[in-house]
Amino acid sequence: MRIAVLLGGISAERNISLLSGRNVVWALRQRGHEVLAIDPARGSQCLLSDEELAAADAALPSQQELESFSRWALVQALDAPWTGTVELVFPVLHGPYGEDGRVQALLELRGLRYVGSDMLASALAADKHTSKLLFLAAGIPTPRWMAVTAQQLEEELLEELLDELGTHLVVKPNDQGSSVGMSLLRNCTVEELREALELALRYSALALVERYIEGRELTVGILGEEALPVVEIRPGSGFYDYEHKYTAGKTEYTCPADLPPDIAEYAQNVALSAHRILGCRHFSRVDFRLDSDGQPFCLEVNTIPGMTPLSLFPRAARAAGIEFDELCERLVSLACQ
C-alpha cells in the first residue's frame, strides 16, 4: 500500500513529531509498504528525503523558529501532488495544527482516508478545558481546575485561584502536549502562579490551573476497542516534563504497572470510557494521576500518542505482545476497515 506519513508540522512538538513519524515510516516500510514522509510545515515542498528524516532530533524548537512557520503551508502541503497518489494517510503530528482537528478537516475535504480520530474528536481532545467538562458530565473523575486567559492575570483572581484550588498546582497551556509550557507548583505564591500562567499563555490563548493530585502517574493506551496494559511513570526528579519524556535514563517506566488488579482494570475501563466519550477511534492514550486512596483521576486524552523509542503507547503495546511494526500495521488495518 502507498502511505503518506505526516510528521513535523508547526507546533512546539514539531521535533518529537519528526522522531515519532520517522519510526512509523521505517516500521511501515519494513512491513512492505511504499511510504512517503511528508512535513506540512514545508508547504508544497513537503516531501522529506531519507537523509532529512534521519537527522531529526528531540530538541525543543525556539520561539523564533515557531514564529517563522506559516499556517498556510499546511493548506499548500495538502494540495500538493502527493495527495493524488496515496491510498492512506498516517498523521503523526502532535499539538496544534496537527492533533487538534485542523489537519483532519483538510484530509476529509481532500477525500483522503487516514489513521486516527476524526476532526471533531481530535478537536475535543486537544481542548483540555472542554474535554474535562465532558469528563465531568460523564462522571469520569478529573482534578478540579480553572481556565485563565491573559486578560485575567489580576492579583485578585490569582488569590481566588489559590483559595479555590490550593497551593499545589499544575499550570499548563490548554492545547499543547509533551508538557510544553507546563509548570508544577508546590506551596506557590501569587507571583509564582503569575509566572507559570505567563509561561503557559505563550503557547496557548487559554491556560489551565489544575489541582495537583499527590500520588502516582499512570497512562493507559487504547488500541481499537481494547485497553492496553497500564504504564506507570516515575521521573527521576521533579516532574514528567519535556526533558524527562525525551531523554533516555531520566524516567523509570513499569508496564504492566504494579497495581492491584481491580485498580488496574478500573483505570483501563475509565480510559476506554474517556476515549469513547470524546468519539476517538483507532487509538489514543489516556493519562491519569492515582491518589493515595487508589482513585485514578483522568487528566487528558491524547489522540496521536508519541511513537518514539521512549514513548508510552508503543511500550504498552509491547507489554501486550505487539511489536512496533505490527502496531503500525494494525493501525493501518483499523483505518482501512
**Do 25 and 93 lie in a common domain?**
yes
**pLDDT at res. 68:** 82
Highest mean pLDDT among 12-16, 62-66, 124-128, 153-157: 124-128
Radius of gyration of the chain (CA): 19
The string of DSSP codes covering 76-96 is HHTTSGGGGT-SEEEE---ST
- Are 220 and 268 in contact, with CB atoms under 8 Å apart? yes
78-121 pLDDT tens trace: 999 999 999 999 999 998 899 999 999 999 999 999 999 999 99
Residue 202 near residue 176 (C-beta atoms within 8 A): no
More confident residue, 244 or 8: 8
Domain range for 50 is: 2-114
Predicted confidence (pLDDT) at residue 55 exceeds the cutoff of 90: no
Q: Which of 188, 211, 234 represents a domain boundary (last residue)? A: 211
pTM score: 0.89
Instruction: Assign residue 310 the CATH number of its domain.
Output: 3.30.470.20
Strands 88-91 and 2-6: parallel
Do residues 136 and 282 both lie within one domain? yes
Last residue of a domain, one of 154, 179, 211: 211
Amino acid at 181: G
Say whether both 130 and 248 belong to one domain: yes
204 and 256 in a single domain? The answer is: no
**pLDDT per residue as tens digits for the range 194-235:** 999 999 998 889 999 999 999 999 999 999 999 999 999 987
250 and 135 together in one domain: yes
pLDDT at 196: 93
Residue 119: inside a domain? no
Percent of the chain, pLDDT > 90? 76
CA distances from 219 to 60, 140, 205, 227 (A): 23, 15, 27, 10
Phi, psi for 140 (deg, rounded to 5): -85, 120
The verdict on 219 and 312 lying in the same domain is yes
Where is the domain boundary, 160, 190, 211?
A: 211
How do residues 248-287 score in pLDDT, each as one tens digit?
566 799 999 999 999 999 999 999 999 999 999 999 999 9
Q: Are 11 and 304 in contact (CB under 8 A)?
A: no
- Between CA 181 and CA 94 the distance in angstroms is 15
45 part of a folded domain: yes
Dihedral, CA atoms, 26, 28, 34, 35, nearest 10 degrees?
A: -60
Do the domain assignments include residue 64?
yes
Residue 19 inside a domain? The answer is: yes
Tally of domains in the chain:
3
Strand locations in the chain (E): 2-6, 34-38, 88-91, 145-148, 169-173, 183-185, 207-211, 216-223, 226-227, 231-235, 251-254, 283-290, 296-302
Residue-level pLDDT at 238 = 59
> What span, in angstroms and rounded, lies between the C-alpha atoms of 64 and 31?
38
132/280 same-domain check: yes
Residue 326 lies in a domain: yes
The CATH number of residue 46's host domain is: 3.40.50.20
Give pLDDT, residue 244. 47
Q: Tell me: do 86 and 198 sit in the same domain.
A: no
Mark whether 13 and 31 lie in a shared domain: yes
Look at the block and give the residue holding cell 505526516: 6
Residues 230-259: tens digit of each pLDDT = 999 987 655 554 554 555 566 799 999 999
120 found inside a domain: no
Are 10 and 106 in the same domain?
A: yes
Q: Is 255 a member of any domain?
A: yes
Residue 121 lies in a domain: no
One-letter amino acid at 287 equals D
232 and 173 in a common domain: no
- Give the residue numbers marked as catalytic: 13, 178, 246, 285, 287, 300, 302, 306
For residue 62, the 8-state DSSP code is P
Site of grid cell 484550588: 165
| pLDDT tens digits, one per residue of 136-191 | 999 999 999 999 998 888 888 888 889 999 999 999 999 876 577 889 999 998 99
Enter the C-alpha cell of residue 129.
Answer: 478545558
Query: What CATH number has the domain bearing residue 197?
Result: 3.30.1490.20
State whether 178 and 234 are in the same domain. no
List of long-range contacts for 259-267, beta carbons under 8 Å, 24+ apart: 259/218, 259/230, 259/232, 259/290, 260/294, 263/290, 263/294, 263/296, 264/229, 264/230, 266/296, 267/218, 267/220, 267/230, 267/296
Query: How far apart (Å, rounded) are the C-alpha atoms in residues 211 and 144?
Result: 6
E strands, 149-243, in order: 169-173, 183-185, 207-211, 216-223, 226-227, 231-235
Q: Rounded CA gap, 175 and 124, in Å?
A: 10
